[in-house]
Amino acid sequence: MKSTTLSYRIFPLGDAAVTVDFGNIIDKSINQQVLHLFNSLQNDPLPGMKEVVPAYSSLAVYYNAIDVRKKHNGSMTAFDSMSAQIKERLDQSLTDIETVSKLVSIPVCYEKELAPDIEYLANAKSISVDELIRMHTSKEYRVYMLGFLPGFSYMGEVDEKIAIARKPQPITVASGSVGIAGRQTGIYPMTCPGGWQIIGRTPVQLFDPGKDEPTLLKAGDRVQFISISKDEFENY
Amino acid sequence: MDTVQDLGRYGWQHLGINPGGAMDKLSAQIANILVGNDPGEAVIELHFPSSTFFFEQASLIAVSGADFSATINGEEVPCMRPILVNKYSILQFHRIEKGARAYLAVHGGLDVPLWLNSSSTHLKAETGGYKGRVLQKDDEIGFKRPVDLCSLLGKKEFEVLPWKTDSNWGDDNHAKEILVLPGHEWERLTGHSKEIFFDRAFLITNQSDRMGYRLKSEPLSTFTNEEVVSSPVSFGTVQLLPNGQLIVLMADHQTAGGYPRVAHVISAHHSRLAQMKPGDLFIFRFTDQQTAEELLTKQHQHLLQLQNACKFKLDELLNACN
């Protein structure tokens, strides 16, 4: 990993968390910086840290303000203390951590009855359904972050030719539904209201509370969708 | 809607698993402390109309937070007091006197499994707490460490113990002022919108629940519509929705969001906010990081004092029954 000068801003997220912001854009290399800091803090937590939460281009460090203040006998705010320690971490170690990213193949059935919005999307973008499926399965996607629901992964970026706005109102979406919103694609790990345009469904379980690692995907993973038939879906 | 909650499930937001936990964590801790538990033990969070509880064995309980006019076997009992309850007693709640959420703690804790180190109910994931769901008629919850308290009560149905906590210490629950810190997108608000933010009362609408409170006011507007890329949000984050109204994120908030963050309710006022309900009005007031942390520290110190006082009295009491 080459050494680069990082550009970032640190600001409070209330009085119990700090945000580190690497730039308000969706970008692979910026997300990589977020995950480097995330991994560094997961492996070697700062004193008083409660947890660290990565997003697209920013990350939050939650802390116990009372514990952090105690260290300084109240002479410094917990926010200032955490900010200084995070800056220090960013200065020293972010160049030598290699993130391991796994490639996960996810079978998806794009048949109409499991893909309520696939014809709408194809029509809106003036392409055939087959072409849409080909485009969605033609590349690897990066898992930028998890959020919204346990195990819900925000992946990108889909080809501009199949990018589409989300629905004006969320409607009930079945568990395993694969959707598109803008240039993002994602999978609903459970049945719930959702606004993404649904183009297929996977038989794979994205979230299992009984497992030590309850989600199939993690930020930084790569995903390849593979088209399967209705028959394969049902007998998966 | 009654659920089992504790102080939340931290360490899993990177997988999209939000911390949840009690809406009013201060009151949840007080209930536990009054009955001699670790402050982070699982409690039952009650919303009115709430469940009625039948005790199959004697127990030491406390109800904190909202006042739902509790009775045991039809006789009124106070909030914020430890109460010895004999077996076959019935605890009921009759009306909302004050607040929005009450917490029921039992000595020794509730026998519910941990999921990812927490007993909080995660309703969306349908796991954690009591079977991952809202409590229903005929559910039976065991006590983790049952203590034989019968000898203390003799033939009495219940006894309110003499020690208590001042329900308003460190924070006046009647106050309708919520202190906030500026959010990262605060400066996006127009001058007029900033005036509205500080000068007007905000109404908590019916579209308010454990995920968040939707507020109503004259609509606010911003200078720019530049998109905010989804970024972490927290309990107390005040976001501006596209319709110009605000939402305050509460215990079951999502882990990240893309609406402008105009402010954050300070941790020391989460409890106050959690005891407000639809129809209530409040005003926002800015404070600074230092003050916010000092107020939180004060709350924490008060909890420690209460814990020491209760522990001493409880040890005396429990020694008498062994």
Sequence spans of domains, chain A: 9-93, 103-234
Both B126 and B267 in one domain: the answer is no
Name the pLDDT band for A132 (thresholds 50, 70, 90). very high
User: What is the model's pLDDT at position A93?
Assistant: 64
The tokens describing A150, both together, are 């346990």
The tokens describing A3, both together, are 């050494």
Both B188 and B48 in one domain: the answer is no
Q: What would the pLDDT profile of B208-219 be if each residue is shown by its tens digit?
A: 999 999 999 999
**Does B233 reside within a domain?**
yes
Both B162 and B212 in one domain: the answer is no
**pLDDT higher than 70, residue B248:** yes
Q: What HEC string does chain A produce?
A: CCCCCCCCEEEECCCCEEEEECCCCCCHHHHHHHHHHHHHHHHCCCCCEEEEEECCCEEEEEECHHHHHHHCCCCCCHHHHHHHHHHHHHHHHCCCCCCCCCEEEEEEECCHHHCCCHHHHHHHCCCCHHHHHHHHHCCEEEEEEECCCCCCEEEECCCHHHCECCCCCCEEECCCEEEEEECEEEECCCCEEECCEEEEECCCCCECCCCCCCECCCCCCEEEEEEECHHHHHCC
Both B160 and B255 in one domain: the answer is no
Residue B179 host element (H or E): strand B177-182
Closest partner CB to B234 (pick from A13, A21, A26): A13
Q: Could you tell me the residue range of the domain that residue B44 belongs to?
A: 3-167
CATH number of A103-234: 2.40.100.10
Closest CA to B262 of B312, B196, B210: B196
Nearest-CA distance from A230 to chain B in Å? Answer: 27
Q: How much of chain B, in percent, has pLDDT values that exceed 70?
A: 96
**B-chain residues near A38 (CB < 8 A):** 14
Both B104 and B189 in one domain: the answer is no
Both B69 and B107 in one domain: the answer is yes
**Does B121 reside within a domain?**
yes
**B-chain residues near A55 (CB < 8 A):** 229-232, 256
**A-chain residues near B125 (CB < 8 A):** 149-150, 190, 207, 209
**pLDDT higher than 60, residue B172:** no
Both B219 and B77 in one domain: the answer is no
Task: Report chain B's mean pLDDT, rounded to a whole number.
Answer: 92
Chain A, nearest residue to B132 by Cα: A209
What are the beta bridge partners of residue B265? B180
- Contact present, A60 and B235 (Cβ < 8 Å): no
| For range A211-232, the mean pLDDT | 96
State the total domains in chain B. Answer: 2
**Does B307 reside within a domain?**
no
**pLDDT higher than 80, residue A4:** no
Both B213 and B271 in one domain: the answer is yes
Task: Determine, for residues B297 and A150 on separate chains, whether the beta-carbon distance falls below 8 Å.
Answer: no
Task: Determine, for residues B264 and A14 on separate chains, whether the beta-carbon distance falls below 8 Å.
Answer: yes
Nearest-CA distance from A115 to chain B in Å? Answer: 23
**A-chain residues near B235 (CB < 8 A):** 14
Domain harbouring B192, CATH code? 2.40.100.10
Chain A CB within 8 Å of residue B169 CB: no
Distance, in Å, from the CA atom of B61 to the CA atom of B147, rounded to the nearest integer, reads: 12
Task: Determine, for residues A51 and B13 on separate chains, whether the beta-carbon distance falls below 8 Å.
Answer: yes
Name the pLDDT band for B195 (thresholds 50, 70, 90). very high
The tokens describing B192, both together, are 């007029």
Chain A CB within 8 Å of residue B12 CB: yes
> Taking chain B, what is the end-to-end CA distance rounded to the nearest angstrom?
37
Cβ partners under 8 Å of residue B147, min gap 6: B60, B107, B108, B318, B321
Both B115 and B207 in one domain: the answer is no
- Contact present, B165 and B62 (Cβ < 8 Å): no
**pLDDT higher than 50, residue A20:** yes
Nearest-CA distance from A212 to chain B in Å? Answer: 8
Task: Determine, for residues A218 and B300 on separate chains, whether the beta-carbon distance falls below 8 Å.
Answer: no
The CATH fold assigned to A9-93 is Gyrase A; domain 2 (3.30.1360)
**Does B311 reside within a domain?**
no
- Contact present, B311 and B228 (Cβ < 8 Å): no
**Does B213 reside within a domain?**
yes
User: What is the model's pLDDT at position A180?
Assistant: 95
Nearest-CA distance from A17 to chain B in Å? Answer: 8
- Contact present, A135 and A158 (Cβ < 8 Å): yes
Chain A CB within 8 Å of residue B284 CB: no
Distance, in Å, from the CA atom of B273 to the CA atom of B275, rounded to the nearest integer, reads: 5
Task: Determine, for residues A55 and B297 on separate chains, whether the beta-carbon distance falls below 8 Å.
Answer: no
Sort B216 into a burial class: Cβ within 10 Å, 0-12 / 13-18 / 19+.
middle
The tokens describing B26, both together, are 């201060």
Overall pTM > 0.95: no
**Does B308 reside within a domain?**
no
- Contact present, A224 and A180 (Cβ < 8 Å): no
Task: Determine, for residues A149 and B124 on separate chains, whether the beta-carbon distance falls below 8 Å.
Answer: yes
Task: Determine, for residues A214 and B17 on separate chains, whether the beta-carbon distance falls below 8 Å.
Answer: yes
Q: What would the pLDDT profile of A137-163 be if each residue is shown by its tens digit?
A: 999 999 999 998 999 999 999 999 999
Closest partner CB to B181 (pick from A12, A53, A215): A12
Instruction: Enter the ipTM.
Output: 0.93
Task: Determine, for residues B15 and A52 on separate chains, whether the beta-carbon distance falls below 8 Å.
Answer: no
Mutate to test the interface with A, among B7, B9, B10, B14 (most CBs of A within 10 A): B14
Task: Determine, for residues B289 and A54 on separate chains, whether the beta-carbon distance falls below 8 Å.
Answer: no
**pLDDT higher than 90, residue A68:** yes
User: What is the model's pLDDT at position A3?
Assistant: 46
Task: Determine, for residues B122 and A219 on separate chains, whether the beta-carbon distance falls below 8 Å.
Answer: no
Chain A CB within 8 Å of residue B107 CB: no
Q: What would the pLDDT profile of A72-117 be if each residue is shown by its tens digit?
A: 877 899 999 999 999 999 988 665 556 678 999 999 999 999 999 9
Q: What would the pLDDT profile of B85-115 be if each residue is shown by its tens digit?
A: 999 999 999 999 999 999 999 999 999 999 9
Closest partner CB to B289 (pick from A54, A59, A77): A77
Counts of helices then strands in chain B (DSSP H, E): 5, 19
**pLDDT higher than 70, residue A5:** no
Nearest-CA distance from B119 to chain A in Å? Answer: 13
**pLDDT higher than 90, residue A169:** no
Chain A CB within 8 Å of residue B262 CB: no
**Does B293 reside within a domain?**
no
Both B45 and B162 in one domain: the answer is yes
Is the pLDDT higher at A220 or at B321? A220
Strand spans (E) along B16-85: 43-47, 53-55, 59-67, 70-72, 75-76, 83-85
Task: Determine, for residues B229 and A219 on separate chains, whether the beta-carbon distance falls below 8 Å.
Answer: no
| For range A207-230, the mean pLDDT | 96
Closest partner CB to A54 (pick from B14, B292, B293): B14
Using only C-alpha atoms, chain B has a radius of gyration, in whole angstroms, of: 21
| For range B71-75, the mean pLDDT | 97
Domain end among B167, B200, B234: B167
Both B138 and B190 in one domain: the answer is no
Q: What would the pLDDT profile of B113-144 be if each residue is shown by its tens digit?
A: 999 999 999 999 999 999 999 999 999 999 98
**pLDDT higher than 70, residue B175:** no
User: What is the model's pLDDT at position A166?
Assistant: 86
Chain A CB within 8 Å of residue B226 CB: yes
Mutate to test the interface with B, among A13, A15, A70, A72 (most CBs of B within 10 A): A15
Whether the domain at A9-93 and the domain at A103-234 fall into the same CATH topology: no
Nearest-CA distance from B266 to chain A in Å? Answer: 6
**Does B313 reside within a domain?**
no
Both B212 and B267 in one domain: the answer is yes
Nearest-CA distance from B84 to chain A in Å? Answer: 33
**Helix or strand or coil: residue B32?**
helix
